[in-house]
Amino acid sequence: MQHIRALSAAKETRLTISVITFDLDNTLWDVEPPLIKAEYAQQQWLLQHRPGAVDAFDHEALLAFKTSVWRRHPALAHHVSDMRTQMLYELQIAGGYSEEESRSGAKEAFEAFLVERHKVVLYEDALDVLKRLAQRYILGALTNGNADIYKTDAAEYFEFAFSAESIGTSKPHPAMFKAALQKTGMTAKQIIHVGDDPDHDVQGARDIGMHTVWVNAQRKPWPSGNKPDREIVNLRQLPEAINHIADAR
Ligand SMILES: [Mg+2]
């Protein structure tokens, strides 16, 4: 927070780029490997402790079951952890387990999932780049998922983190971006948001007036709509992209 106070002088001029906010999944790391391991750990827990629950379904039937849970609980749409716990609970109820067993089982299976979910491996160069940027900017995390930046090696570089679960709505809704404005006391024009999702990250941040960097590791064509200020294919290119935006002001 000392950092925020030191940089609040920049607010006076309302000119300087002072804050960089980051999406997490597929921006700072590839989310697929930990997700696959997390799903596997959850399934193993169920097979061992609640036989007949998840194994009563083949792949397609399980997907249909999950989809029906999502449809019946729209209020949990921005709460991915609660949604998963609800699905795990209903899966055990359907498997003939008592309400109490299903509740405790949902909690424990989710915990098994979360342990692996948090074992993310930052993209090569990510730590170096974040360390460099943290010397000059306030860094924050804005994620729709249930990853926790403070459980990674990059924890020390982040001054704040908001998740869709903590705010109650997901990007591209302005609420999460507004939370970053409130937290830092900066204007949107002093913030650059960095993310991989053209809609959630680029459009969402742009709508509130922030600068944007699109992390396009897969080198896809830009879908449509307003383009990001800068596009990069790996994080090594980020400092230069930030300088470019800052210099253009
Ligand atoms: Mg992402």
Q: Is the pLDDT of residue 216 over 90?
A: yes
Domain final residue, candidates 89, 117, 145: 117
Give the pair of three-digit tokens for residue 46: 């169920």
Quick one: 154 and 200 in the same domain?
yes
pLDDT in tens, 11-62: 444 569 999 999 999 999 999 999 999 999 999 999 999 999 999 999 999 9
Going from the Cα of 25 to the center of ligand 1, the distance in angstroms, rounded, reads 4
Quick one: 178 and 59 in the same domain?
no
Going from the Cα of 197 to the center of ligand 1, the distance in angstroms, rounded, reads 6
Going from the Cα of 9 to the center of ligand 1, the distance in angstroms, rounded, reads 32
Quick one: 81 and 141 in the same domain?
no
Q: Is the pLDDT of residue 5 over 90?
A: no
Domain final residue, candidates 76, 98, 117: 117
Quick one: 59 and 76 in the same domain?
yes
Please state the length of the chain.
249
Quick one: 204 and 86 in the same domain?
no
CATH number, domain of 73, equals 1.20.120.1600
Going from the Cα of 162 to the center of ligand 1, the distance in angstroms, rounded, reads 14
pLDDT in tens, 120-131: 999 999 999 999
Going from the Cα of 193 to the center of ligand 1, the distance in angstroms, rounded, reads 12
Contact between 208 and 174 under an 8 Å Cβ cutoff? The reply is yes
Strand partners, 195: 214
Quick one: 84 and 173 in the same domain?
no
Q: Is the pLDDT of residue 232 over 90?
A: yes
Domain final residue, candidates 51, 83, 117: 117
pTM above 0.95, yes or no: no
Residue 189: is it exposed, middle or buried by C-beta count within 10 angstroms (0-12/13-18/19+)?
Answer: middle
Q: Which of 203, 200, 209, 191 is nearest to 228 (CA)?
A: 203
Going from the Cα of 15 to the center of ligand 1, the distance in angstroms, rounded, reads 28
Going from the Cα of 105 to the center of ligand 1, the distance in angstroms, rounded, reads 29
- Compute how many other C-beta atoms are within 10 angstroms of the C-beta atom of residue 107: 12
At 2 the pLDDT is 54
Lowest mean pLDDT among 2-6, 61-65, 132-136, 138-142: 2-6
Structural domain range at position 16 = 2-30+122-247
Q: How many structural domains comprise the chain? A: 2
Q: Is the pLDDT of residue 180 over 50?
A: yes
- For the chain, the average pLDDT equals 93
Going from the Cα of 14 to the center of ligand 1, the distance in angstroms, rounded, reads 29
